[in-house]
Structure 1
Amino acid sequence: MNKIILHKGKDKAAWQLHPWVFSGAIKHIQGSPTNGEVVEVFNIDNEFIAYGVYSGLSRVAVRLLEWHPDKHIDESWWRDRVRRAVAQRKHLLNESNDTCRLIFAEADFIPGLIADKYADFISIQVHAAAVERVKEWIVDELATLLKPRGIYERSDLKSREHEGLQDTNGVAYGEVPPEFVDVIENGIQYQINIVEGQKSGFYCDQRENRALTAQYVKGKRVLDCFSYSGGFTLNALRAGAASVVAVDSSALAIETLKRNVEVNSFDTNTYKAVQSDVNKYLRQLGEEGEKFDVIVLDPPKYAPSRSALDKASRAYKDLNRRGLMLLESGGLLATFSCSGAMDIETFKQVIAWAALDAGKEIQYIRQFTQPEDHPVRASFPEGEYLKGLLVRVV
């Protein structure tokens, strides 16, 4: 087997079970590993650290998988990891919830793989060459365990370029998903598009936060920004919001939201769907003197890396400033960031700056995070990407 020798002093994170070895930490490579091939990783004193998988095109040159020298990375190892991940989520699936994340990459010791369950279908995304090599085993194990109607692959990610992989979209097992798949989350019905929707089809990471936010909306005027398929909107309507305005720039998202409102038989007179750039629409609402009782801001990832954090912080600040200006005393802002590079303390500071610029005094009354099917390994804090705050204007 090919061997990776780490520089002296560059092995600390690997010993502490962090799954990433950056290219700069490598002193020497014995052999000629190809992308996705299993390698052994040693320190400068030739002490075994872990098995990993190699990627010669990525800054993360090795993704570590197993720290026990007697446990080899073979077909049974991969299948066992899939079984463990699925078993840990089974209690989340019931009559009121048939969607969840089954496999969350590094958190489940399968770096480069995302798998989401949507009723009778599974959507997968493959980010890494190592998973591409064993994809057949993983798909077969998921099919054996869950017996879905179909497994659809949505591997059209920019990160695949760094693994020497081309985009792959299509059926990996069973049937082609219909245009809209019927799922249930928090007892609410959704029709989602697995083939053409954003990411893998649906954002199940906000499941708990949607329900928590809905506790505050009864009889209130709600503004749901970046509404996508309507998660926060639908939970607000069910909870008795007086009115909801849902805003998204995507025509498909607005179409899907409208369909989901109808599927749940909610009163169509209590909501309005607006296709618009959110910042532009917030500016327009401010100019018109509109006010709301509860505002949800759930934007896309503004900071894909730490190098983008300063620019992203300014974007988050401006967005939240505009939102806060539409709230009066007692109004609530549920604001989120899915940028892993931004930690919760930095996010709090950004919101504080936004409040100062908006001329508002605020209180943080709740923190939001990702649900248990998006776990965070203690050795890999980078997996904690979703954070949010419930903010009250004093």
Structure 2
Amino acid sequence: MDKITLHRGKDKAAWQLHPWVFSGAIAKMTRKPANGAVVEVYNADEEFIAFGVYNAMSRVAVRLLEWHPERVIDDRWWRDRIQRSVDMRKHLLTMDNTTVRLVFAEADFLPGLIVDKYGDFISIQVHSSGVETVKDVVIDELVKQLKPRGIYERSDLKSREHEGLADANGLLYGEMPPAFVEVIENGIRYQINIVEGQKSGFYCDQRDNRWLTARYTKGKRVLDGFCYSGGFTLNAFQQGAAEVVSVDSSALAIETLKRNLSANGFGEVVHHAVQSDVNKYLRQLGDAGEKFDVIVLDPPKYAPSRSALDKASRAYKDLNRRGLMLLESGGLLATFSCSGAMDIDTFKQVVAWAALDAGKEIQFIRQFTQPEDHPIRASFPEGEYLKGLLVRVV
């Protein structure tokens, strides 16, 4: 096995179980390993630190896997890790919930692998060359553990470019998923598109937050911004919302939302589906003097990296300012950020600035985070990406 030695003083994070070794931390190698090869990582005093997977093309040159020198990184190791991840989530799969994230990359000591279960189908994403080399093993173990009807890959990811990997979309096992796969979350039925939908098909990371937010919507007029397939909309109607306006720029999202309303028997509710840029539509609502009781803003990732944080902060501030201007005293704003580079304290400050610009006095009455199938590993705080705030206009 090829051996990598780190510069003196560059080994602290690795000792503390952080899974990333950046290229600048490497002092020397016995030889240049192949991309995706398992390597041994040592400190400057030749003390073993961990096993990892090497990639010369990535800024994260080594993704660490295992800190116990007596363990072997073979097919059995990968199978055991997958089995442990699945076992820790089986209690989440019930009659009222048939969708769950089974593997969450670094948080589950499987860097570069995302696995989501959608009813009888599984969707996977492979972000790293290390996982790419054992993909057949991963698929075989998932089949053994879960016996799905089909496994579909959605590895059309920007991160693969940095690993020297081309996009990879297609069926890996069993049946091709139909155009719409039915799943149940919080007792609500969703028709989701695994093949063409956003990300791996559905945002199950908002499961708890949809339910928590919906508790405030009974008899209320609700605006669901960036509604996608209607998670917050459907939960609001389940809890008795009087009216919901759902906005998304994607025609497929609006089509899927309408299917979901019908699948849950919400055909007679007061609902308006709007295909539009959300910021533009919020501005139009403000110009028209419209008001809402509850507003949900769940935008895409504005800050893909820390270098983009300043620009993203301005975008978040402007979005939330427009939302707050549509609320009267007592109105609620459930606002979210899925940008890992933005921590909760920074997000609070951004929303506070938005309130000042909107001329609103606000209270933070609840904080939202990601659910238990998206765990945050103590040695990898970067895995905490989803945060949200429930804001009340005073």
Tell me if 1:179 matches 2:179.
Answer: yes
User: Shift in Å at residue 31 of structure 1?
Assistant: 1.3
Show the counterpart of 1:31.
31
* C-alpha distance after superposition, 1:239-275 (max 9, x if no partner): 1001000000000000000010001011444111000
Show the counterpart of 1:354.
354
AA aligned to 1:6 is L
Show the counterpart of 1:299.
299
AA aligned to 1:41 is V
Show the counterpart of 2:113.
113
AA aligned to 1:125 is Q
Distance 1:3 1:129 in 2: 18
* C-alpha distance after superposition, 1:71-130 (max 9, x if no partner): 011000000000000000000000000000000000001100000000000000000001
Tell me if 1:74 matches 2:111.
Answer: no
Q: Is this contact kept in 2: 1:261–1:268, CA < 8 A?
A: no
- Listed as ranges, the gaps of 5+ residues in structure 1 are none
AA aligned to 2:390 is L
Tell me if 1:215 matches 2:234.
Answer: no
Q: Is this contact kept in 2: 1:35–1:55, CA < 8 A?
A: yes
* C-alpha distance after superposition, 1:192-251 (max 9, x if no partner): 000000000000000000000000000000000000000000000111001000000000
Tell me if 1:14 matches 2:14.
Answer: yes
Tell me if 1:170 matches 2:162.
Answer: no
Matches within 5 A, 1:28-107: 28-107=28-107
Q: Is this contact kept in 2: 1:4–1:30, CA < 8 A?
A: yes
* C-alpha distance after superposition, 1:349-379 (max 9, x if no partner): 0000000000000000000000000001000
User: Shift in Å at residue 32 of structure 1?
Assistant: 1.8
Matches within 5 A, 1:266-345: 266-345=266-345
Distance 1:166 1:225 in 2: 33
Show the counterpart of 1:249.
249
User: Shift in Å at residue 341 of structure 1?
Assistant: 0.2
AA aligned to 2:250 is S
Matches within 5 A, 1:117-132: 117-132=117-132
Show the counterpart of 2:379.
379
Q: Is this contact kept in 2: 1:262–1:268, CA < 8 A?
A: no
- Listed as ranges, the gaps of 5+ residues in structure 2 are none
AA aligned to 2:131 is V
AA aligned to 1:203 is Y
**What SS does the aligned partner of 2:134 have?**
helix
AA aligned to 2:380 is F
Distance 2:225 2:34 in 1: 44
AA aligned to 2:274 is V
Show the counterpart of 1:156.
156
Show the counterpart of 1:238.
238
Show the counterpart of 1:201.
201
Q: Is this contact kept in 2: 1:192–1:229, CA < 8 A?
A: yes
Tell me if 1:364 matches 2:364.
Answer: yes
**What SS does the aligned partner of 1:342 have?**
coil
* C-alpha distance after superposition, 1:286-309 (max 9, x if no partner): 000000000000000000000000
Show the counterpart of 1:145.
145
Distance 1:255 1:29 in 2: 53
- TM-score, normalised to structure 1's length? 1.00
Distance 2:268 2:141 in 1: 43
Distance 1:83 1:159 in 2: 25
Distance 1:172 1:268 in 2: 40
Q: Is this contact kept in 2: 1:293–1:332, CA < 8 A?
A: yes
CA-based RMSD of the aligned residues comes to 0.5
Show the counterpart of 1:134.
134
Distance 1:354 1:268 in 2: 36
Distance 1:351 1:129 in 2: 39
User: Shift in Å at residue 34 of structure 1?
Assistant: 1.0
**What SS does the aligned partner of 1:163 have?**
coil
Distance 1:9 1:243 in 2: 59
